[in-house]
A and B are shown apart, each in its own frame.
Chain A
Amino acid sequence: MKHLRAINKKARRIDDAVTQMEEAIEAAAASGATPPEMEEDVVALQQAPRPHVPMGCTLSFSPGWEVDAGGGTAGLCQPVERDIYDCYVTCFWPVQVPDHVNYSPDWASNCATATKDWRNLDLVFP
């Protein structure tokens, strides 16, 4: 490595691994191969680190989310309303809730506390 100097045994092990990786890349470049993509703007669901998937999302299997053991919602490990913002702000999947970036930035402005104000959330007609 050029910029990091390993000064203990663990660091030297990392150094060895990185150097091997570097050499493989240099060798590939010398033979005309494309260097590895470092942008990572498109990720697969199974890739690590995983993209954020809201808890209880219908795409993922999260037991104990939709109904509790008694079939109701009172005993859930998270209040049912919590998913609103997880879907609204952080989800990568462009359907379940309005788009807070482009079309509906004010969708949740009347909903200060999801557990109390969720009735103020309305449909949107783009």
Chain B
Amino acid sequence: MNAVHTPTYRRAEYHGFNAGGSAFVYLVSAGAIFEIDEQVQDVLGRIGGQELSHAALVRELSNEGGDLSDAERLVRELRAAQLIHLGAAAPAPVPEAPPADFPLQALVLNITNQCNLACTYCYEFGADKIATPAGKPKYMTLETAKASVDLLIAEAAHRPSIHITFFGGETLMNFKLLRDVVNYANAATAAAFKGITYSLTTNATLLTPEIVAFLSDNRIGVTVSMDGPPELQDKHRVYKNGKGSYAVIEPRLRTLIAHHRTRAVTARVTLTEGVTDVVRIFRHLKDDLGFHEVGFAPVTTGETRTYSIDAEGMDSVLAQFNLLAQEWLEFALRGEVHGFTNVSETISELIAGVNKSHPCGAGMGLMGVSPSGDLSPCHRFTDADTHVMGHVSSGIDRAKQGDFLSRGHVGAKYDCQSCWARPLCAGGCHHEAFVRYGDTGHANLHYCDWIRQWTDTCLHIYGELAVKNPGFLERFAERKGLS
């Protein structure tokens, strides 16, 4: 019959952690981080263990020697911040998807799908490739590139600034086009009263002093794909005849790092079976070669490739990530920059308190362009017939874009709904999901535990900095805003 019980308090969905001698909560519905005092911890402890109505809770709190109105005020504050609520939880609101006409911010121009290396794990050419380049152009023409720039400027609507990433294949195999595009885009954006920034990814085998000078002069950020010291680099990053590439790129990297003065030079390492010595790789790239930032990502594969990392390997990777993360923290406490990108990226998202509707901007603010001019959600879907999303000459295919984005929305991923790390992860890479599960909208369940542990590590760093060196976080946020 009548089941209107007096409503009792419940805790909202949050992840609690301690750092630097203080207690914190990461509020999942918002992506907000609060340092909490002992009274808040007390309230959370009480309502976690028993059913307490408002009257009962206030009575308990004031019985402990507190003032009744102070107890009321404490409870009101926690309710207003939605850290606790009275009665059954309303379902947490899903982050709103951006509007359908969300302005484009960046294009990744795949200026060639050709490469002079034959890295065994490559997602563009390896066993798990989804690209279908047969019969399509291998090099982008200037006409296509210009159409891409025009599309980007038009679709950017009122954005004050846009970004172009050059990608491949091996990007520098089409350097001539790259140079022409930069000149064209500089003029076109100036005419449209917009700013423009550039970046490029390369395997570094084709860098010359002239190219480095051009990149530096035009403030083109450079990311080098490489795997570490010679024996690790040469394991997978090989020429078509099997010869390793380390000896070729080493002198070129030194030239690049010495003479590229305008933007940070970043290394991006792919971790595979046998290439999991994260700390050693980091030391080599950061200290021996002098990269400013070094980031790592496990290779994207189906489950059964010989080069994919097994669970044990991933545990070892995480342990080493944690070592470097600890180092990152020590540097930050001294006010110094460490250079381990994986921490820097997460920290900058924690500063903002992101609460993502989608794991990344693919298909929304960012799109990939294949050499033929086909648009795709990002560079990882380039040349894949299954994921064409319009063409630079005819514009964005809104129906396909809508389908891709509605699949990829975190609210559509059942498994994510009970995970506290979803504001940052939102289910993970669309491309990885497609390779693993055949659906871009599938949550990447194979790395959930990993993501949660990593997010927890970064929250600890964040908390400790907030207590001991908050100025560093402020400076970090400002600098990130500029880069």
Contact = CB atoms under 8 A, between A and B. Distances in A.
A116 interface: no
Contacts of B4: 41, 51, 92
Contacts of A52: 88
A39 interface: yes
B81 interface: yes
Nearest to A38: B54
B40 interface: yes
A78 B203 CA distance: 57
Given A3-B77, A99-B1, 19 more contacts: A1-B81, A4-B83, A5-B35, A7-B33, A8-B32, A8-B353, A10-B353, A14-B82, A18-B81, A22-B77, A25-B76, A38-B54, A38-B76, A41-B53, A49-B87, A49-B89, A92-B4, A93-B2, A98-B1
Contact of B33 (A1, A11, A91): A11
A88 B81 CA distance: 35
B86 interface: yes
Contacts of A97: 1
Nearest to B91: A49
A82 interface: no
Contact of A40 (B1, B39, B72, B87): B87
What range describes how many residues of A lie at the interface?
A: 35 or more
Among A35, A41, A51, A99, max chain B CB count under 10 A is at A41
A6 interface: yes
6 contacts: A4-B37, A4-B77, A8-B351, A21-B80, A39-B6, A91-B1
Contacts of A22: 76-77, 80
A10 B81 contact: no
Nearest 10 A/B pairs, CB to CB: A10-B353, A99-B1, A11-B32, A49-B90, A5-B35, A7-B466, A94-B2, A10-B32, A4-B34, A18-B80
Contacts of A123: none
A48 interface: yes
B80 to A, nearest CB: 4
A9 interface: yes
Interface residues of B, number: 50
A11 B77 contact: no
Among B85, B351, B353, max chain A CB count under 10 A is at B353
Interface in B68-96: 72-83, 85-90
Nearest to A20: B80
Interface of B: 1-4, 6-7, 24, 27, 30-37, 39-40, 53-55, 72-83, 85-90, 350-355, 462-463, 466, 470, 477
A26 to B, nearest CB: 10
Interface in A52-97: 52, 89-95, 97
Contacts of B73: 2
B2 A92 contact: yes
Given A39-B54, A48-B90, A6 B2 contact: no
Nearest to B6: A41
Contacts of B27: 11, 14
Given A9-B353, A49-B87, A18 B77 contact: yes
A15 B77 CA distance: 10
A101 interface: yes
Among A8, A13, A18, A43, max chain B CB count under 10 A is at A8
Nearest to A91: B3
A52 to B, nearest CB: 7
Among A22, A49, A101, max chain B CB count under 10 A is at A49
A35 to B, nearest CB: 8
A102 interface: yes
Contacts of A99: 1-2
B309 to A, nearest CB: 32
Contacts of B31: 8, 10
A101 B3 contact: yes
A7 B35 CA distance: 7
Contacts of A50: 90
A24 B470 CA distance: 31
B32 A40 contact: no
Nearest to A37: B54
B1 A11 contact: no
A29 to B, nearest CB: 10
A3 B1 contact: no
Contact of B81 (A4, A92, A94): A4
A101 B4 CA distance: 11
Contacts of A25: 76
A40 B24 CA distance: 28
Contact of B34 (A7, A17, A40, A92): A7
Nearest to A93: B2
Contacts of A89: 3
Nearest to B85: A49
A17 B80 CA distance: 9
Among B1, B355, B477, max chain A CB count under 10 A is at B1
A29 B20 CA distance: 38
Nearest to B74: A3
Nearest to A90: B3
A103 B2 CA distance: 11
B77 A6 contact: no
